[in-house]
Chains A and B, each alone.
Chain A
Amino acid sequence: DQQVKQNSPSLSVQEGRISILNCDYTNSMFDYFLWYKKYPAEGPTFLISISSIKDKNEDGRFTVFLNKSAKHLSLHIVPSQPGDSAVYFCAASMNYGGSQGNLIFGKGTKLSVKP
């Protein structure tokens, strides 16, 4: 039973346009959400996160939106650059209420940004 789902295995976007990556979750106890970027043969690199008490967090070209009622979050990259091409993972955790905070990951979305 997958608690975190990324339903699009791949996404192709033109350079300069917006990339929107989506993630759905099922466990309403998750209180912290993160996006990681991963290149082949490397570990995940942290991009941006959001607490469940917020609905938006922005960092430069990256913005994460959280819709708790829909159990949905999205990552917007504007403008997209060829160097953004990688696999993006959505992750969720329960940092409070006695949980140890281990991350539950989706299966990833491979983003290709074409020049």
Chain B
Amino acid sequence: DTGVSQDPRHKITKRGQNVTFRCDPISEHNRLYWYRQTLGQGPEFLTYFQNEAQLEKSRLLSDRFSAERPKGSFSTLEIQRTEQGDSAMYLCASKGRHGDTQYFGPGTRLTVL
């Protein structure tokens, strides 16, 4: 297994459009996290899945954001009615059942025009 993968790597969209990102975690990692990173900041937690259950959501996750993890494998993060303030790097990380370390994917860079 080659690690966490994310698709697309880059996305440019116009304000008001919907976008969806995909994350494929490391095989058999049951825990999956989404983070967002803006310029000059460290990554900030958005939401967490254990298997298919979404167990925690940050207050950063407005009602325009929704995340899913059907069947406990890959996850999608959708942003509806995008705003310029949504421009950021969206990062996905996964962690194994017995591990303490999160491993990150390459990220999806979103630019909202």
Contact = CB atoms under 8 A, between A and B. Distances in A.
Interface residues of B, number: 28
Given A49-B101, A100-B56, A101-B100, A43 B107 contact: yes
A74 interface: no
Given A43-B106, A44-B91, A102 B45 contact: yes
B42 A43 contact: no
Contacts of A100: 48, 50, 55-56
Given A101-B95, A107-B40, A46 B56 contact: no
B interface, over-half SS: strand
A107 B41 contact: yes
Please tell me the size bucket of the interface on A.
20 to 34
Contacts of B35: 103
B42 A42 contact: no
Given A89-B42, A89-B43, A103-B43, A49 B103 contact: no
